[in-house]
């Protein structure tokens, strides 16, 4: 990542006049691209498992419906911004995840309701500061946790070199990640299952069919 940050493309965040913040945004974007890879691979794997038997069904209707879902899944996986609410992206995700006999055509949303992008970013930073069990948004089989840690260390170093006071370092980092989320159109993310009506601690493992909406209003970014 250090080498990539020494060669930031000219087209990356051209409207940002602060060179340190621009590099921090690019570091955030590099890590979030790894998150995209994690999410794509995870959703593709889970939906493909559901479709395997259906694609081999003797029932033509079942088989064709499964094929339509798989084709939508493949189209969604090829999207550069797979977590966007853009119509084509979202419709392919919905078609891929939602069984044709489900009686609905929408994603199951997290009981957390709408949250701002800052919630997503703060959760990433908080989880990276802790050792041990990973919680949402990190996918257990993914690489984002490790890369996000590297990005956070790089952004802290950028802040120090730019003379940003330690008191403002966290806000600098949050703003950089939020700026990258905006550029990458991260509007929702897969989350953990909603609590069931049973005793015990709720699961914190990310699933492919419960999504957290990031459309709530948050604080305005301070850096430009």
Whether residue 179 is predicted with pLDDT greater than 70 in this model: the reply is yes
* Residue 80 in domain: yes
What is the total count of domains within the chain? 1
pTM above 0.85, yes or no: yes
Which residues does residue 108 pair with via DSSP β-bridges, in sequence order? 210
* Residue 135 Cα to chain centre, angstroms: 13
- For residue 80, give its domain range: 18-213
* Residue 189 in domain: yes
> Is residue 152 within a helix (H) or strand (E), and if so which, with residue range?
helix 144-161
pLDDT for the residue numbered 221: 56
Cα distance between residue 88 and residue 82, in whole Å = 10
108 phi and psi angles, rounded to 5 deg: -70, 125
Whether residue 200 is predicted with pLDDT greater than 70 in this model: the reply is no
* Residue 52 in domain: yes
pLDDT for the residue numbered 130: 81
* Residue 219 in domain: no
Whether residue 131 is predicted with pLDDT greater than 80 in this model: the reply is no
Q: Which of 38, 29, 79, 35 is nearest to 179 (CA)?
A: 29
Token pair, residue 155, equals 């952004």
* Residue 181 in domain: yes
* Residue 120 in domain: yes
Summary mean pLDDT of the chain: 92
* Residue 9 in domain: no
Tens-digit pLDDT profile for residues 62-92: 999 999 999 999 999 999 999 999 999 999 9
* Residue 202 in domain: yes
């Amino acid at each position: 990542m250090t080498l990539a940050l020494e060669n930031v493309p000219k087209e990356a965040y051209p409207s940002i006049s602060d060179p340190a913040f621009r590099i921090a945004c690019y570091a955030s974007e590099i890590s979030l691209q790894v998150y995209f890879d994690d999410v794509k691979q995870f959703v593709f794997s889970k939906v493909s498992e559901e479709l395997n038997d259906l694609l081999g069904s003797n029932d033509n209707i079942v088989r064709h419906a499964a094929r339509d879902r798989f084709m939508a899944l493949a189209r969604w996986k090829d999207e550069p911004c797979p977590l966007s609410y853009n119509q084509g992206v979202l419709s392919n995700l919905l078609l891929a995840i939602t069984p044709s006999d489900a009686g609905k055509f929408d994603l199951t949303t997290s009981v957390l309701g709408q949250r701002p992008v800052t919630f997503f970013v703060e959760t990433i930073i908080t989880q990276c500061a802790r050792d041990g069990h990973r919680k949402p948004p990190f996918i257990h089989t993914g690489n984002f946790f490790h890369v996000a840690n590297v990005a956070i260390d790089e952004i802290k170093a950028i802040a120090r070199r730019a003379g940003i006071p330690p008191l403002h370092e966290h806000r600098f980092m949050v703003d950089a990640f939020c700026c990258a989320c905006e550029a990458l159109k991260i509007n929702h993310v897969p989350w953990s299952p909603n609590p069931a009506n049973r005793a015990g601690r709720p699961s914190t493992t990310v699933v492919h069919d419960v999504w957290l909406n990031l459309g709530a209003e948050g604080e305005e970014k301070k850096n430009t």
